Chains A and B, each alone.
Chain A
């Protein structure tokens, strides 16, 4: 009965999730606290005074452009990278500060690398069992983990014979096998091609949710961060710019940079009268996203493409149309030369059409100009 129902609801993942629920009790997720951590590498500081608080069982995405220090911070949490200043705490234990340094093999963290890091000379089973030397029943645990990632029939294979997606599943199984209290994922899907990336990401997300393990996933892909993370920490140039839920980041980004990094948007400078900002689309309701806004002065706003509406008119022209099916993205050049992007569910316009642009009335994030 249940089998039938499960099959209807989630045809390919039913057994995985059931299994995940059965091993849930074995894991004891821990809180991860990163306090004022800085890391120097090759003479430069790549992480500046990072502050992170990940509750037990929470999934945090560490998002930033490449080279921003996010992977370095993750490696510091794993104990693969020493840091100076500050402390890292997992559960009740300080794993590294000025006096203590717990070796990576004693931190009880699981880690999945971008390239999987599978041992090419060991079979899939031996890879998954690698961290189980002190386990009572490694064979049973290996089978359990392989079933969890739907890879049971691949146990005897060598990693070199697996596809990229299969390898990442095994890497996840291997990281989770020793029942770590924290799971760290370093760009785990970026080596996969687009379609597979989304599929594996969903599988892993479901697994993490079912196990309830504390997870930190590093990514440079905003869509991936939003899809995976309950909370997102945005990093830039070694510093954490903002921590929040995906919705908070999108509607109230701490800076114009964050706003533009987490989504499309056009930046305008306009006069703020205490409630509205003057824009090329008329007066727009604005809210302070970072610091307080100076009344009767110029402020910066970001207008999201979905907040704009197109009508036939004369204020500008459509210069490019990208048709996505579920919506359409228009690039607009206004008569004064400024540009804007509009997303609409309707495909009413073509390149070259003359249009007016109006605002949908929702509030835009704003920041002081300095």
Chain B
């Protein structure tokens, strides 16, 4: 029936199925490699669980403080505390390491008080860095939920005899649980598939094992990949079934909510906001900046390489965005206009592509091209890199593509048909203009993710093909902090600009200044 959509679904399912197949082929060896994967699995689970919990608590607290309380300057803080999102976690980790090394901002600050910089390796630093750069995934949905929540719910509870604190527990918190849960899930999946930061900070999770053993011990690498995919799948499926029974119905918001007066509590509240912004944004940016300035004044940064890397990053990103949108559009059309089972199955494969870590996608594409007869020529070519990006980030374009199809409802298509006989002109004068905003934003999200991506780029980029991400990575590994600073800053600025245009500008969290006017 809808063969084209099945082909799309198969493309997205390919890496996961390939890993599954290769692992099953291991036969007797499987038991041994599986046992070897248990300890890293434990560390991955421990890290992902702790980071999700702290990110959930931090994100929810900040959201409540900045949306519902009268803490001073909250509309400005609300923008600032989202900004750690623009730092790719491996850049954030590198920035902290560069800050703590000799000559880094934190090391110098500590030297002022006579303290020595701590050794920044292992579980706690990894947990700290990942929490700092992922809590916005909780903050954004929870703030949006708080802003959308009808004040009559809390007011009803008060009139029915509950105190402010009891009301928060029995009414507000249950309303937020969905947003906290979905944000927390995102953080969990990010942490599970995180490679750059755990590698830099030396915490042996599954991704680190996969990377380390990818050449020397393929069996372990594949088994660890499969374990990782299974873990991600279990978590996603668990969350989906938990959410199925959730009522999606909301009362209308009739009037603005009065901010809660914190009194003396506003000092600890403000301290939490300040600390988060300091470590999540100011310290890493200051660290990158000081090294960048040092490198620029000493003239030892290779600008030619950087310009090339920036151009490569942008062009591969834009190409990926285009292709991803084109690939998911037929599926989106099917999903919106016809309720089809084929479409649902294909969409699960597309969404699954996001849950499978980029490292695993890259790995399976590498082995597939190296071992299959015809496709071998694709190894270390741009098309293969772009294919990996599309499989990993296609789901981010899917939602927007569905919106774009919804933007041309049936009555509009029918009226344009009655008025304009040429299908091409209908497409260019009616369909495309209506679909464009959603398609652009979907493509933009893919672009944003692509420029921040590291492991797939490391594994699949053609030899000598440098991107900003590989530049930061390579410079750090060679100890060129100045180049880490410059390329990191360029990456952050690019990602900040895209995040602002595509994500933040559109969210109510930023737009609604939380005024208490009538």
Contact = CB atoms under 8 A, between A and B. Distances in A.
Given A43-B517, A119-B153, A119-B171, A103 B158 contact: yes
B248 A131 contact: no
B153 A104 contact: no
Which residue, A106, A116, A117, A178, has most C-beta atoms of chain B within 10 A? A117
B160 A105 contact: yes
A195 interface: no
Interface residues of B, number: 28
A111 interface: yes
B252 A115 contact: yes
Contact of A80 (B159, B160, B174, B252): B159
A118 interface: yes
A337 interface: no
A178 B155 CA distance: 16
B162 interface: yes
B248 A160 contact: yes
B251 A117 contact: yes
Given A113-B155, A116-B251, A160-B247, A121 B174 contact: yes
Interface string A158-195: 11110000000000001100100000000000010000
Interface in B137-174: 150, 152-153, 155-163, 171, 174
A58 B161 CA distance: 24
Contacts of B158: 79-80, 103-105
A196 interface: no
A115 B163 contact: no
A237 B150 CA distance: 26
Interface string A30-41: 000000000001
A99 interface: no
B260 to A, nearest CB: 13
A130 B154 CA distance: 12
- Specify which of A43, A80, A175 lies most central, judged by the most chain B CB atoms within 10 Å of its CB: A80
B261 to A, nearest CB: 11
B299 interface: no
B518 interface: yes
Contacts of B517: 41-43
A116 B153 CA distance: 9
A117 B161 contact: no
A215 interface: no
Contacts of B153: 117, 119
A258 to B, nearest CB: 24
Contacts of B422: none
B163 A103 contact: yes
B275 interface: no
B249 interface: yes
Q: Which 6 A-B pairs have the closest CB atoms?
A: A160-B249, A42-B517, A131-B160, A117-B152, A115-B251, A117-B156
Interface of B: 150, 152-153, 155-163, 171, 174-175, 247-252, 254-255, 258, 515-518
17 contacts: A41-B518, A46-B518, A71-B255, A72-B518, A80-B158, A81-B258, A105-B160, A106-B161, A109-B159, A110-B159, A115-B252, A119-B156, A130-B156, A131-B160, A131-B161, A161-B247, A175-B159
